[in-house]
Structure 1
Amino acid sequence: MKRSKPSCSSRPSTPINNSSSNENSEDCIKTKKKYYQTYNRRWEEEADLRGWLKSSEKGSYFAYCHPCNVNINIKGGKLQLRRHAERVKHKQACRSKLKQKSLIDMIPTTGLETQLKNSELILSAFVVEHNLPIRRRKNRPLIYILVNLLFFTLPV
């Protein structure tokens, strides 16, 4: 009669010698299951990670560094993020991001120009929202009428 070996999910079954049950239990050592760290949104609020850390489109086991434009594998945990933050390339990228001006800041505007831009945006949004044609069948285009309406309603 054959004796069967206790089942182990971690090791393939092998033929059994006529040995004691103690050896069988040693053969059946289960390996510890690995748990990988997934991205946590609370990390974005921490002081040393704030401003540059975002979730990655690559998956839940990755984080995205906005200044460096790289995906960071975080299966090992938050330590990977801290290591990335200590690198010279990351520090240089963060410094250059702070010095960089946005497009809005580069264009000097006065109060009147700001009001004009706001009114143009309101007008454009109104036309798009109501699906209005830019030209009407009569002589005057609808845009002309709306611009005159906004012009007379602007505060002076």
Structure 2
Amino acid sequence: MPSAAPASAQGRPRRGIPLWGTVLLCLLGFLVLMAAFIGSAFYSIQGSVRRSQPYHMALAQAGQATCVTKRLGTPLVPRRFVVGSVSHDGNQTNGNGYSDLEIPVRGPLASGRVHVVARETDGTWTIEYLSVRTGNDRLLLLPAAAPCQ
């Protein structure tokens, strides 16, 4: 008496995803999760920098400088992707820290980059260097012997 052969051996095609398809789907899922993680970490860091005191101080001082407003116009609008770092010693109330940021900005007349170096001592931030670069020109705001060199 012949034994019954399995369904796949009777010439019918197997149904389901082949092994390479499963591997490809797993790899694609992993890449999507990694991209989401890296993207959320990036935007979290950007948000932290944008909430920092040196960021706001630099934009305020650059926006009030006459030579900057003549070149870029008003208002100065910060753009995406701030480059740099803000660091603290861990004590948020009266700690020490350092910041070196390059903030892309645009005005109605032109675009530029605000570069700020600031230091925090006993909880107070002080800007040590502030400049605005527009094209090939650099407008030095701090420290300045004369306004807007």
TM-score (norm 2): 0.27
Identify, as 1 or 2, the structure richer in strand. Answer: 2
Identify, as 1 or 2, the structure richer in helix. Answer: 1
* Bigger Rg, which one: 1
